[in-house]
Structure 1
Amino acid sequence: MEIRHLRYFAVLAEELNFTRAAERLHMSQPPLSMQIAQLERELGVKLFVRGNRRVALTEAGQAFLSDVRTVLARVKDATARVRAVDAGQAGRVEVGLSGSHFLGPVPHLIAHYTRTHPQVSILLNEMNPASQIDALRERRIDVSISRTAVDDQDLCSIPIWPDPLVAALPARHRLASRRRLALAELAEEPFVMLRLDTSAFAGRLYELCLRAGVRPRVVQTVAEIPAQLALVGAGLGVALVPVSTVAHFAGSVAACRLPAAVSGGGVHAVTRRNARQRVVEAFVQAAARWQAQPAAPDPAAMGPAPAAPAPEPACRPR
C-alpha cells in the first residue's frame, strides 16, 4: 500500500464519481479504477459499491476513510515539518552567553526571532565565556555569543554586531563630563577589572591598557560586566566595558568614548566548523542581519554607533 493509493481513495470518497475524481487527480479514469481495485484486493474488502450511475462507500469504506484522512493529514504535517527543518525554519538552538549580553541587543533579537520563527526553540544557557567554548566543543550548546572571535580547527566565528569599548566612570567623577578620553588619562585611576580567568576578553582589556602605557591599579576583580558597572556606579573605580552594557546604569555611570585604536570591538557568534544544522546557520545569519544597535547612555557623548556588518557565510571545515 502506498500513500498515493490513500490519496486516490480519499478523493474518490469525496467525489463519489470516477470521472470527477480522475480530473482532480490529473489522471485518466481507467488507471484510477485499477488503483482502487488494487487497494481493495490488498485490503481484502470492498471499499465502494459501483453502480451504473453512482458510486457509494461501503460500511468498511466509511470506516477506512476516517483513518485515511488522519494518515494523510499527518503526512502533510510531516512534509511541512521536514521542509521547514531543511530550510532552517524549525528545530532547536542551544545558545551560550554571558550575563552582560542581556544588557544589549540579545533580548530583542531573541524576542524577534521567536515571533518570526515560531517553530524554532531558542534555549539560552548563561555561562562564563570559557565554559561556553568547552560546551561548544562538547556539543552541549550550538552557538556561543562571544566578545572574542575563536578560529581554530574545530571552531569559527562570524561577527554579528559592533560593540565598541568605552570608559565607564562614576557619574560624579571629575572626567565624567568629557566626550572623549585617552586611555592614558586614566593611568592614576583605580580600576574595576574582569578576572583574567573568566575569558580571553578580560585578557584583551588588560593588554589594551598596557599598550597604552597604563598599568591598571586594580582595586576589585569580578566575573561579569554588570558587576563591574555596579561597582563603578558605587564610586569604587573606573572600567573599560562594551557600550551596549552601559545604558542600564545611566543614572550612576558615565561613558566616554575612547580612541578608535582602543575602542574597536564587537560581538561574534562562535560555532563548530563541522556542524551541519540548518536551523543553527539560519539563526546565526539572522543575528548578523539584526539591525538593533548597542544603545549608548549618552548619545550626544557617544555619537552614532557603527553600522552593522553584512552577514558572512557560515564557516566551513578547514
Structure 2
Amino acid sequence: MELRQLRYFSVLAEELNFTRAAARLHISQPPLSMQIAQLETELGAALFRRTSRRVELTEAGVCFLHDVRAVLARLKDAGVRVRAVDQGLAGRVEVGLSGSHFLGPLPDLIARYATTHPDVSVILNEMKPSDQIDALREHRIDVSFTRACITDPLLDCVPLWPDPVLAVLPAGHPLAAKRQLRLAELADEHFVVLRRDTSAFAQHIFDCCAKAGFTPRASQAVSEVPAQLNLVEAGLGVALVPASTCQRLKAGVVTCTLTDPTPQANVFAIVRKDSPTKARETFLASIAAPLEA
C-alpha cells in the first residue's frame, strides 16, 4: 500500500467521479483506475461501486475513508512539525543554570523567547556550574549558563553579556557610604563567600583577592549568590557578587563598585560542538540579543 494510493482514494471518495478526481490529481483517468484497483486487491475488499452512471463508496469504503483521512491528517501535521523543528520554531531546550542567573536578565530573556517561539519547550535545570559541565558531556542538558569560559575540545563557549562584580555590604557598614572601593580596602572584613568547589567564578573571586594582597576571611561559605545576599543583609559579613544579581536588593544592603582589580562575572553559554539543534540555535540567538528598552 502506497501513500499515493491513499491520496488517490481520498480524492475519488470526495469527488465520486473518476474524471473529476483525475483532473484534480493532475493525472489521466486510466492510472487512477489502475491504482484504485490495486488498492482494492491489496485490501481484499471493494471500496467503490461503479455503474455507468455513478460511483459510490461501499460500506468498507466508508470505513476505510475514515481511517485514511486520519492518516493523511497525521502526515500533514507531521510535515508541519518537521518544518517547524528544522526552522527552530519547535522542539525542546534543556538549560543548566545556577541560582544567581534567576536574579539577572535571564528570566526576562527566556520569557521574550517564549513569546516568539511558543512551540519550543525551555526546561530549566538548577544545578552547580561544575555539575552543568558534566550534564553537557552526558547530553542531559543542551546549554549551560556560566560565569567562566572553559576550554574543552567537546564544548563551545559563547560570550553573552558583561557582568562586573560589586561589593555588597550591610547598610550600616562603615564603608557603605563609599560609592567605589579598592578591593584591598576589604582585606580586614569578614566575607560571605561562595564555596570554591562549586564554580570557577568562586575561584576567580578568591584569585582577585589574592592579587589585591589578601585572603578573604570567610565567616560563612555557601553555594549560591542569593544565600550570600541574605546573609549580608543579616550582618554576617560582606560579599562580592555579580552586578546583575543586585537589581532587586533589599533595603538592608548597599553596593559599591570595585577597582584595583575589578573582578568580572561575565556570562557565557556553554554548548556541545557535536550536537547542535535548530531550537538550541534560535534560543541562543535570542538570548544573546540585547534586552529591549
Any idea what SS the aligned residue of 1:27 has? coil
The residue type equivalent to 1:235 in the other structure is G
SS in 1 for 2:181: coil
1:166 aligned counterpart, secondary structure? strand
One-letter identity of the residue aligned with 1:136: L
Q: Is the 8 A contact 2:48 2:56 kept in 1?
A: yes
Partner of 1:300: none
- CA distance in structure 1 between the partners assigned to 2:270 and 2:9 by the alignment: 51
Contact 1:233 1:249 in 2 (8 A): no
C-alpha distance in 2 between matches for 1:89 and 1:269 = 20
Aligned residue type for 1:270 = I
Higher mean alpha-carbon deviation, 197-206 vs 86-95, is at 86-95
Name structure 1 gaps, 5 residues minimum.
294-318
Tell me, yes or no, if the aligned pair for 2:212 and 2:261 is still in contact at 8 Å.
Answer: no
TM-score (norm 1): 0.83
CA gap 1:48/1:226 in 2 versus in 1, 3 angstroms: same
The residue aligned with 1:142 is 142
Distance 2:243 2:20 in 1: 67
Which amino acid counterpart does residue 91 of structure 2 have in structure 1?
G
Deviation at 1:242, TM superposition (A): 0.7
Structure 2 stretches lacking a partner, 5+ long: none
**Aligned residue in 1 for 2:157:** 157
Give SS of 1:218's match.
strand
Q: 1:223 Cα deviation (Å)?
A: 1.4
Counterpart in the other structure of 1:195: 195
Deviation at 1:204, TM superposition (A): 0.4
Which residue is 1:245 aligned to? 245
1:127 aligns with 2:127: yes
Q: Give the 3-state SS of the residue equivalent to 2:140 in structure 1.
A: coil
Partner of residue 5, structure 1: 5
- Contact 1:149-1:156 within 8 A present in 2 as well: no
Instruction: Give the equivalent residue in structure 2 for 1:269.
Output: 269
Residues 256-304 of structure 1 show CA distances to partners (whole Å, capped at 9, x for unaligned) of 22349615432111122222333333322322225269xxxxxxxxxxx
TM-score by length of 2: 0.89
What is the alpha-carbon distance in structure 2 between the residues aligned to residue 127 and residue 266 of structure 1?
Answer: 18
Q: How big is each residue's C-alpha offset from its partner over 1:232-265, in whole Å with a ceiling of 9 and x where there is no partner?
A: 1122222211112112323122122234961543
Shift of the 16–126 alpha-carbon distance from structure 1 to 2, 3 Å rule, reads same
User: Does residue 1:176 correspond to 2:161, yes or no?
Assistant: no
Does residue 226 of the first structure (1) align with residue 226 of the second (2)? yes
SS state of the match for residue 163, structure 1? coil
Q: CA deviation at 1:3?
A: 0.9
Partner of 2:111: 111
Q: Do structure 1's residue 32 and structure 2's residue 32 form an aligned pair? A: yes
Deviates more, 1:84-93 or 1:62-71: 84-93
1:12 is paired with a residue whose SS is helix
Alignment-derived partner of residue 209 in structure 1: 209
1:276 is aligned with what amino acid? P
* CA displacement 1:141-200 (0-9 Å, x = unmatched): 222111111221122211223322112122223333433333233333322211111111
SS in 2 for 1:172: coil
Q: SS state of the match for residue 38, structure 1?
A: helix
Asked if structure 2 preserves the Cα contact closer than 8 Å seen for 1:183 and 1:214, the reply is no
Q: CA deviation at 1:72?
A: 0.8
Percent identity, please: 61
Aligned residues, how many?
Answer: 293
Q: Secondary structure at the match of 2:101?
A: helix
* RMSD of aligned alpha carbons: 2.4
8 Å CA contact retained: 1:147, 1:266: yes
